[in-house]
Amino acid sequence: MELRRRLLASAGLLVLLSVASRGTSQEFGSWLMSHLENGQRIYMSGITAQGRVVQNSHGMEGVGCALCHGPDGRGGTMHGIPVPNITFPFLTDPRGNEHNGRKRPAYNEETIKAAIVAGVDSGGNNLHPEMPRWTGLTARDLDDLIGFLKTLGAARRGSSDTSHGL
């Protein structure tokens, strides 16, 4: 059984390598850039790279995550409300974090998506009502946004950042 599982995994890897090798590094770089560009535009302006406004529960247009969380994702305070750090290394810190007096476990990609779309944190608690529920994101948009979040704070990985968390 173990041999069969290993053979299937190896075959899958060979298929992926075969598909990847057909494209040039320039094509791969272009594909990656388009996804990061889409994620960045959603984060910064709430508008996809294709020019589509992302719908949200607050009816805001032309604003994205950066309005509250800042261009670097580190948060702060807006209208007297603590705005959490949403850099990927901070959110996924295995030690979890505390925000507004409530401890939460580390996020993963799926729980980050739930926070964005449904306003639920990694512990299953509702986020602050001021956090918009971004209902107009496609599955690709969410993946692209997560990809961009991974670039925020990447240089700080391993630091002892203690700023606010989601």
Residues 44-65 have a mean pLDDT of: 94
Helix axis angle for 139-151 and 25-45, nearest 10°, is 90
pTM, full prediction: 0.73
Cα–Cα distance, 161 to 166 (Å, whole number): 14
Beta strands 102-104 and 76-78, pairing class: unpaired
Cα–Cα distance, 132 to 110 (Å, whole number): 17
CA dihedral 22→24→29→34, nearest 10 degrees, is -60
Beta strands 76-78 and 97-99, pairing class: unpaired
Could you state, in order of their start, the residue ranges of all structural domains in the chain? 25-156
Range among 11-20, 25-34, 124-133 rated most confident: 124-133
What phi and psi, each to the nearest 5 degrees, are found at residue 14?
Answer: -60, -40
Beta-bridge partners for 5: none
| Stronger pLDDT, 114 or 153, i.e. the higher one | 114
Q: 56-108, pLDDT tens digit by residue?
A: 999 999 999 999 999 999 999 998 999 999 999 999 999 998 877 788 999 99
